[in-house]
Structure 1
Amino acid sequence: MSALTKYKNIIATVLSLLLISGCEELEPIPGQPWRVSVVMPSFYPIKITQAYGVNEEQDWTMPLHGLSLSMSKSELANVRTVFPDYDGFGLPVSLLTSVRGRQLGSANKHLPDSIYIYWTSLINIRFFVTKYDLPQKVKEIMSKGVTFERYDGSLGSCFRTEFFFGMLPNGKAKVWLMGCDQLIYLAELDPAREKDRDQNGVTAERYRESPYYFDTINQRAKDEGVAIDPIPWEKVGKVYSQDPVELLSEQ
């Protein structure tokens, strides 16, 4: 075989591998479509005004809806049905204590490259944008099934497809991946941006003109007999979970 022929074969092999790799990245994840859930401390609730996922290569943006019930979901009585010892300050990570974002239209199983959440911290009326860029390792974990034994003894697979964001009143956010009785801690994020109004154009002055949020938050603290200002950061950073928290580096 001539050197030229060998060279052509090598080039052909490399191009084939690149093509296969590209096709694999475009494959949808198995199981249920990816979702986004958000939790917050009961004493420091938030309001979400927009959320969506973006895939740059496939050129799509997927809006998420269903993230508007943060005040009711963050009520102490609701959280304590899952975590009876919850103190109101920490992040209660559970499907029953979170607001859950569902994709609009047909359920998209292709993973986004980034997730954006626009939200208002109601205790201090600050407007934040959280952005999470999915590492390749996270995409691989989501596409890999975890084997379990069904009641009839047969084997099945489940997939980790739920992103959990825990929002803090200084704009920081913690991110986990949930599924298959696992909670994997992914990152702590600084706000990607702080704005002067929410995504609906509502300013801090407009929020302050309506006392609903302040009255509700202060009543929660009064009922518990606690002070919420200044913010006790050592308590706010605590995570409540029914599953042990694992690290991404351990996967």
Structure 2
Amino acid sequence: MPELTKYKNIIATVLSLLLLMGCEELEPIPGQPWQVSVVTPSFYPIKITQAYGVNEEQDWKMPIHGLSQSMRKSRIDYVRTVFPDYDGFGFPLSSLTAVNGRQVGSANKHLPDSIYIYWTSLINMRFFVTKYDLPQKVKEIMAKGVSFERYDGSLGYCFRNEFFFGMLPNGKAKVWLMGCDQLIYLAELEPAREKDRDQNGTTADVYRRGSKPEKAKQRGIDAGVSTVPIPWEKVGKVYSTDTVELLSEQ
């Protein structure tokens, strides 16, 4: 009987901990709401047609808007105002050079379980879906404040709440978490799906009748460099004013 009582107590303790963990996940993160930003190499611009976050447990889908102007902010002359030595092939990781997405409607501080981005690689007219599943460790990092001293000597806290996605023309993506003068590398993602048209139903033929694919190719021509075939040894270098840290180091 004492052994049975001991096992019952252990089971009750484990169930209580699981319940508490579940409750913690439902708590909103402190600080500003989470947001999503996207960067691409200047020579390989993209068009984003849809992005949203999903929380399975709370049963919501949060659209993210403001990500459609990716060609303008990825121009090499613009990026070089932030990173003067930028070569056009790398990822310029800065809020100034990224397309910054915001949640539609009221800002939701509850974290999503997954983030989806639907986008078109304009240099080769391929259509991709990127999906990032947030690990528990990332959620914990976002909920934890980083202390700093204010000008008056008081102690303040900032939070790491911005996801940076870097998109490559083969559909792969890299993900970082930014905030508090930190840049944490989270993962490299394979495309969750490749489609034959974008999320609005626009096919490659329709895109080619427009100007964006030609403008994408013209960037390399204007710079006097070869962008096709893609020189993969050059693509994906990180440009950042912050040192890139690893998730395993946190």
* TM bracket, shorter-chain basis: over 0.9
In the other structure, the counterpart of 1:29 is 29
Query: Relative to 1, partners in 2 of residues 1:215 and 1:18: Cα closer, same or farther, differing over 3 Å?
Result: closer
In the other structure, the counterpart of 1:153 is 153
1:170-185 alignment, distance < 5 Å: 170-185=170-185
What is the TM-score of this pair, normalised by structure 2?
A: 0.95
The one-letter amino acid of 1:214's match is P
In the other structure, the counterpart of 1:92 is 92
1:16-165 alignment, distance < 5 Å: 16-165=16-165
CA distance in 2, matches of 1:152, 1:164: 32
* Counterpart check, 1:222 vs 2:212: no
Compute the RMSD of aligned alpha carbons: 1.6
CA distance in 2, matches of 1:45, 1:9: 58
* Counterpart check, 1:233 vs 2:214: no
1:6-21 alignment, distance < 5 Å: 10-21=10-21
Once the two structures are overlaid, the 10-residue window that deviates more, 165-174 or 221-230, is 221-230
Q: Secondary structure at the match of 2:33?
A: coil
The one-letter amino acid of 1:185's match is Y
The one-letter amino acid of 1:178's match is M
Give the number of equivalent residue pairs.
250
Query: Relative to 1, partners in 2 of residues 1:230 and 1:148: Cα closer, same or farther, differing over 3 Å?
Result: same
Deviation at 1:16, TM superposition (A): 3.1
Q: Secondary structure at the match of 1:176?
A: strand
The one-letter amino acid of 1:238's match is K
In the other structure, the counterpart of 1:196 is 196
What is the TM-score of this pair, normalised by structure 1?
A: 0.95
CA distance in 2, matches of 1:173, 1:5: 51
Q: Secondary structure at the match of 1:95?
A: coil
CA distance in 2, matches of 1:148, 1:136: 25
CA distance in 2, matches of 1:8, 1:203: 61
Deviation at 1:4, TM superposition (A): 7.0
Deviation at 1:25, TM superposition (A): 1.2
State whether residues 207 and 213 of structure 2, in contact with CA within 8 Å, keep that contact through their aligned partners in structure 1.
no
The one-letter amino acid of 2:18's match is L
CA distance in 2, matches of 1:124, 1:174: 19
In structure 2, stretches of 5+ residues that fail to align are: none
In the other structure, the counterpart of 2:241 is 242
CA distance in 2, matches of 1:2, 1:170: 62
The one-letter amino acid of 1:74's match is S
Query: Relative to 1, partners in 2 of residues 1:238 and 1:9: Cα closer, same or farther, differing over 3 Å?
Result: closer
Deviation at 1:11, TM superposition (A): 4.9
The one-letter amino acid of 1:140's match is E
CA distance in 1, matches of 2:91, 2:8: 57
Deviation at 1:6, TM superposition (A): 6.0
The one-letter amino acid of 1:61's match is K
